[in-house]
Amino acid sequence: MSKLQSKVALVTGASKGIGAGIAKVLAAKGAAVVVNYVSDVARAEVVVDEITTAGGRAIAIQADVAKVADVARLFEQAKEAFGTLDILVNNAGVYQALPIEELTEEKFHREININLLGPLLTIQESLKHFGSGGGSIINISSVASRAQPPGYSIYSASKAGLDAVTGVLSKELASRGIRVNSVNPGATLSEGTKTAGLYGVGSDFEKQLVAMTPLGRTGTPSDIAKVVAFLASDDSGWLTGEVIFASGGLR
């Protein structure tokens, strides 16, 4: 039997990239998966189609995780589709290279609202939907939370904050049987990083990151998804409050 058989998972920001990879791996291991997206319904439906064609169960639900009303609707629709929640993966996130001279209130709030407020709102709402047996919350953070690369002050701050949220809530929610862990990817090849021109085009930035990565390559969404699937399963039942760097050794 698949290790996530009969489980229900909600993955935010799952229409592409790491989120899509996570959704597909969780479904392959038996979970029914809610594929959350904010605007790209076509890509979200592609992910759902891939899962259902392979014999899995999935549904796409639109919601902006930085908006309270959207988050409430997201979880209510997920409940209507699949019932009690077992796994929440906070993957939705944005990033932008931003020298301090270019900082604006709008750019600050965009990243903080999605990367940090969003997970707090989804976790808060998820407490109404986990069953009596508890569940697993996995926050997708970033190696940037500790590497603190130049030009990414807001992004690094948002992810460092998310690591702190993981630690605090792992203690706060332990009595409910809810485990909270972070997975922190390093240089990962995905639609988002390719669109941003960071990786996949022989960029100097990619070459620099690969040179800094002991395993000598960029990661893939599948690399991250396998770690998430472990944390979602009972195999990791003694882990909570952990920050796991899925980065090929990059720090």
Q: What percent of the chain has pLDDT over 90?
A: 87
Average of pLDDT values for 38-66? 98
pLDDT band at 207, cuts 50/70/90?
confident
Quote the CATH superfamily of domain 8-190+220-244: NAD(P)-binding Rossmann-like Domain (3.40.50.720)
Lowest average pLDDT, out of 110-114, 213-217, 225-229, goes to 213-217
The pLDDT of residue 243 is above 70: yes
d(CA 17, CA 180): 22
Distance of CA 122 to the CA centre of its chain: 12
Q: What percent of the chain has pLDDT over 70?
A: 95
d(CA 97, CA 152): 5
The pLDDT of residue 210 is above 80: yes
Q: What is the pLDDT of residue 198?
A: 57
The pLDDT of residue 247 is above 80: yes
Q: What is the pLDDT of residue 127?
A: 98
pLDDT band at 202, cuts 50/70/90?
low
The pLDDT of residue 156 is above 60: yes
pLDDT tens string 55-85? 999 999 999 999 999 999 999 999 999 999 9
Q: What is the pLDDT of residue 205?
A: 76
Q: Which of 95, 152, 155, 199 is labelled catalytic?
A: 155
Distance of CA 134 to the CA centre of its chain: 19
| CB-based contact 25:48 (threshold 8 Å) | no
Per the listing, tokens 């959207």 go with 70
The pLDDT of residue 86 is above 60: yes
Q: What is the pLDDT of residue 139?
A: 99
Q: Is 155 a catalytic residue?
A: yes
The pLDDT of residue 29 is above 70: yes
Mean pLDDT computed over every residue of the chain: 94
d(CA 92, CA 12): 5
The pLDDT of residue 249 is above 70: yes
Spans of all domains in the chain:
8-190+220-244
Cα atoms in the 13 Å half-sphere on the side-chain side of 82: 27
pLDDT band at 188, cuts 50/70/90?
very high
Average of pLDDT values for 16-42? 98
Q: What is the pLDDT of residue 195?
A: 57
pLDDT band at 171, cuts 50/70/90?
very high
